[in-house]
A and B are shown apart, each in its own frame.
Chain A
Amino acid sequence: MKKLHFPGIPDDKAAARLTEAAPPAPDDILRRSEAKYQAKKEGLAPPPRVRSTRTRPLRAAAIAACAVLMSGVAAGMAVYLHRARPVSTPGAVVPAYDADPAWAFPKLDLASARLYFLVDQLGDGPAHMMDTPVFSTLTPEDQAALAEILTHPETWEDLAHPLDPDQGIMMGGRAMRLYLDCDGLRTEVRFYSDGKICQVYGRERWYIPAQDGLFEEVAAILDNAQPGRPMPFQTVEAAIEDWPELPHLLFDVTAPCDLADAEVRVMTPAYAPCVLPLPDAQRVALADALTAAAWREVAYEGTEPDGERHILYLDTDGVRTTLTVCADGTAFYTADGVGHRYVTSADTPIYEAVHEVVTYPGAPEDLLLCDMDAPDLEAAVWEAVPLETETTEETLPATE
């Protein structure tokens, strides 16, 4: 008998394993199945399908046709009300717009917001950019510059008005999406190269008439951003829908190194220029802190920021690497002379975690000084506090 082929499922045994581990059956799907079954059985129209947020051509066309009829009413109401209804993302308090022409981001402190952005290439762009888009982040300086542009009163020409769900989508050119989190208030701002801008609260969008050239100004700043890792478009779509999950998606990389099997030496601002061996208890605590933190690898250009830092020197079975944790939440991991740069989530402040874990219980005069002027600082560290095995080997002849 010919064996049934299940697309995407390797074989019966594997299917059984995956089936065992499948998430529990939700009752609402059973109810929907029942409704469809009853409709088919009785020859009635099927119940409406749950709408995926992806825009489908026919549906988009239908919505666009309705939009023409509805937009006049909507615009009239917006002018009458002169301000927008508050549109709520669950758990967030959305400020009401007011009549100030500089209404965009009226109560949002953009400079201190957590900001991520995604550059889309729609229409004439290469398809792969839609398949594997990249979320990027800005430096604090660039974010401040962006905040200044977006909150400048002259940036905005007129009051906002509601935008039809599909009105802001371009079929060509470039589009940029910014995701902002200001103290729990989350919004999405879309800039289109034809000059359209819309701000999105949950499922509602608001059109923002802006001055000519704003797109280019914003694009010039965003071009300096650090690209994150590419991710499948479906993941991005899910992140957009499930907005609170976005930060988790961005920081879903495990720690670059594991301290579990490593000998560790630490140089911290609290004890510099001394170097500390790390006792087992502290090493385990530090390993837990690194593992619990959320990491994201970003482009490394060979330079590290100024300021205080903890430097962890690791020796794992003779392989020596370093992890530098900076006060601004960035971290640099170097192995085999190759540097990697990471940013860590503000939810898991790794610099503070290292600071709390690394303490020296002995007397300050017992601390081991490291030759900070040595040409090879890493070698100098291991020389100051050698590995236990090296120490044992050195002491053996003396014992004999």
Chain B
Amino acid sequence: MTDEMLLTLLYQSPEEGRAALFRTYYGLVYTIVHGRLRHVAKREDEEECISDVFADLFLALDETPTDDLRRLVCTVASRRAIDAWRTLSRSFGRTVPLEDMPEMTSGEDPAAAAEKSAVQSHLLDAIAALGEPDATIVIWRYWYERNATEIAAALHMKPAAVRKRLSRALKTLRGMLDKEAL
């Protein structure tokens, strides 16, 4: 569903519009929140944060209509995730080094950022080249940190089959990256 359709639906039927907005942008919000909280939060914390993000979004759309939904979603999600990260890190008894605070770094290291981005993009390209369902299995296992049982349930496979596919996919991935490195 496009942003334009979502905004129209939100105007005509707010409740349906909010549900559609949730389904359309859940993946993006989850990716942002999980990317920020994956080392400090449990699944419940992430889900709590995601529900906060959407509650904020619903409210923001009531108060200030926008024509750039994606940007609004990204901004609200990243701010909420950073807040949650601060809270969880504090309650987890950890001291947060200044350099780990993303909003406090300058973000002006183009060389390092470009290199990191290129490597990550390249890795994701290679994972996509594995084809389905292997690409999804690898991303769910190593990015979204789902275990074999959860992946198997979602993909209607057996956990042993997921593990086997994962093992082979990693081997293939290693081979692909080695070949490209040469």
**A interface residue numbers (CB < 8 A to B):** 4-11, 13-15, 17-26, 29-30, 32-34, 36-37, 40-41, 49-54, 56-57, 127, 232, 234-235, 237-238, 241, 245, 248-249, 252, 254-255, 258, 288, 291-292, 294, 348
Contacts and interface: CB of A to CB of B under 8 A. Distances in A.
Interface in B23-46: 23, 26-28, 30-32, 34-36, 38-45
B71 to A, nearest CB: 7
A245 B149 contact: yes
A291 B167 contact: yes
B59 interface: yes
Nearest to B161: A292
Contact of A237 (B42, B75, B168): B42
B19 interface: yes
A19 B27 contact: yes
29 contacts: A4-B75, A7-B32, A7-B81, A8-B38, A8-B81, A10-B116, A17-B128, A17-B139, A22-B26, A23-B140, A33-B51, A33-B52, A36-B52, A37-B55, A40-B59, A49-B48, A52-B48, A54-B42, A54-B92, A57-B91, A234-B41, A234-B42, A245-B147, A248-B148, A248-B149, A254-B170, A255-B167, A258-B171, A348-B160
Q: Interface residues of B toward A: which range?
A: 35 or more
Nearest to B164: A291
Contacts of A56: 91
Contact of B32 (A8, A37, A40): A8
Query: Which of B22, B55, B103 counts the most chain A CB atoms within 10 A?
Result: B55
B154 interface: yes
Chain B at the A interface: SS class: helix
Contacts of B75: 4
Given A10-B120, A25-B22, A53 B42 contact: yes
Nearest to A232: B39
Interface in B44-60: 44-45, 47-48, 50-55, 58-59
A8 B39 CA distance: 11
Query: Which of A37, A238, A252 counts the most chain B CB atoms within 10 A?
Result: A37
A11 B121 contact: yes
A50 B48 CA distance: 7
A20 B27 contact: yes
Contacts of B41: 52, 234
B136 A21 contact: yes
Contacts of B48: 32, 49-50, 52
A40 B62 CA distance: 12
Interface of B: 18-19, 22-23, 26-28, 30-32, 34-36, 38-45, 47-48, 50-55, 58-59, 62, 71, 74-75, 78, 81-82, 91-92, 94, 102-103, 107, 116-117, 120-121, 124, 127-128, 135-136, 139-140, 143-149, 154, 159-160, 163-164, 166-168, 170-171
B20 to A, nearest CB: 10
A1 B142 CA distance: 33
B163 A294 contact: yes
A194 B7 CA distance: 61
B23 to A, nearest CB: 5
B44 A7 contact: no
Query: Which of A6, A13, A33, A241 counts the most chain B CB atoms within 10 A?
Result: A33
B49 to A, nearest CB: 10
Contacts of B168: 291
What are the 7 closest A-B residue pairs judged by CB atoms, nearest first?
A8-B35, A22-B27, A25-B26, A33-B54, A36-B55, A10-B120, A32-B51
Contacts of B51: 29, 32-33, 36
Given A22-B31, A29-B51, A52 B117 contact: no
Nearest to B23: A25
Contact of B31 (A9, A30, A288): A9
A29 B40 CA distance: 20
B150 to A, nearest CB: 8
B160 A13 contact: no
A242 to B, nearest CB: 8
Nearest to B28: A19
Contacts of B82: 7
